[in-house]
Homo-oligomer: A and B are copies of this chain.
């Protein structure tokens, strides 16, 4: 008869524990929450009963009644949790949250505004304590209605428009500018730009940074050396092929996103040009050092972004009500070879 008295419906409740321990449910609640002022012998009895019944507090019921209504859960809306950039942010966030006993609900937005809204709605229905979001919409004003007052929102990788909230972003324009500077230092004058969907603000910032750096140096950018909206591997391959086989082909390429960089490397290898055409990518990726030549990149620091976003969330939850701020995480040039290829002596 070691059978525990489990009710058929599922878990034991405070009531069951109270009955077994011979005390009121309130006393059990006090023991569970380590409130002071319970006689030691009752504490022992309650703890014994909890063990016997495998009691697990029901967090949903608890947070329903609790004054602050906290659920110890925060939501992360990222671009695609399988993409290394998003996955690193997610992981860093998890580490910060776990120290505080908080769990993460994650969802992939996939650059779809509809998905984003649906997810926000699903998260708020679960009354998450905070939202960390890489938004795919042009304007986040809708959050004003969706998110209840006082729920912290922190934007990662994108700055908010139409909604006041903290954000943690990479210094996209400056990073793109430094990539251009690096290539120019190595003698390049004709540099092509390969970018993702223009609906993505980071892509626009990188494009702006690129153009500005070129203009500052008096270098012209031919419009057929700028490719936008490359969102699949095929898009990129077509663009690279077209750009490199035209007249007056560029001697260097700037790939403004990690998937684009990888697709570009693959295309260069197929064309046998990986040692002829210089390449700098934006955002680092695993194994960039193992490819020949190694891929020079402007590395972002997704882990730092996630960590910082997490810290801001908890500061806000702890009551920090200073004005919303935009935190900029710098990029770092990682030299590996592809960005140091000189232009052909003409």
A residues whose Cβ falls under 8 Å from a Cβ of B: 6, 8-11, 54, 56-61, 63-64, 69, 71, 73, 80-82, 84, 87-88, 90-91, 94, 98, 101, 103-108, 121-127, 145-146, 148-150, 262, 265-266, 269, 285-287, 289-292
CB of A149 within 8 A of CB of B6, answer yes
Q: Is the CB of B108 within 8 A of A91?
A: yes
Contact B90 A127 (CB under 8 A): no
- Asked if B149 contacts A56 (CB within 8 A), the reply is no
Known contacts: A81-B90, A94-B107. The answer to whether A60 contacts B290 by CB under 8 A is: no
A59 and B125 contacting across the interface, CB-CB below 8 Å:
yes
Residues of the B chain whose Cβ atoms lie less than 8 Å from the Cβ of A285: 286-287
Given contacts A287-B287, A291-B291, 14 further A-B contacts (CB under 8 A): A10-B149, A58-B64, A58-B127, A60-B64, A60-B127, A64-B64, A82-B87, A103-B122, A104-B105, A104-B106, A105-B105, A262-B287, A291-B292, A292-B292
Which residues does chain B contribute within 8 Å of A287, judged by CB atoms?
A: 262, 285-287, 290-291
Knowing A122-B103, A291-B291, say if A82 contacts B71 (CB, 8 Å): no
Could you say which of B90, B125, B146, B289 contacts A82, with CB atoms under 8 Å apart?
B90
**Pairwise interchain contact B126-A60, C-beta atoms closer than 8 A:** yes
- A91 contact from B81, B126, B269, Cβ within 8 A: B81
Chain B residues near A88 (CB, 8 Å)?
Answer: 82
Instruction: Tell whether, in the assembled complex, residue B59 and residue A126 are in contact, meaning their CB atoms are under 8 Å apart.
Output: yes
Tell me the complex Cα distance, A60–B69, Å: 11
Q: Is the CB of A60 within 8 A of B57?
A: no
Tell me whether B108 and A94 are in contact (CB under 8 A): yes
Decide if B87 touches A101 in the complex (CB within 8 Å).
no
Contacts of A56 in B (CB 8 A): 121, 124-125, 146
Q: Check B82 against A101 for contact (C-beta < 8 Å).
A: no
Cα A57 to Cα B124 in complex, Å, equals 9
Residue of B nearest to A80 (CB): B91
**Could you say which of A127, A265, A289, A291 has the most chain B C-beta atoms within 10 Å of its C-beta?**
A127
Closest to A289 in B: B266
Please give, as numbers and ranges, the residues of chain B lying within 8 Å of A146 by CB-CB distance. Answer: 54, 56
Nearest B residue to A268 via CB reads B290
A-B contact pairs, 21 of them (CB 8 A): A8-B149, A9-B69, A10-B148, A11-B148, A54-B146, A56-B121, A59-B125, A60-B64, A60-B127, A81-B81, A81-B87, A82-B84, A82-B87, A84-B87, A91-B108, A101-B122, A104-B106, A105-B105, A266-B290, A287-B291, A292-B292
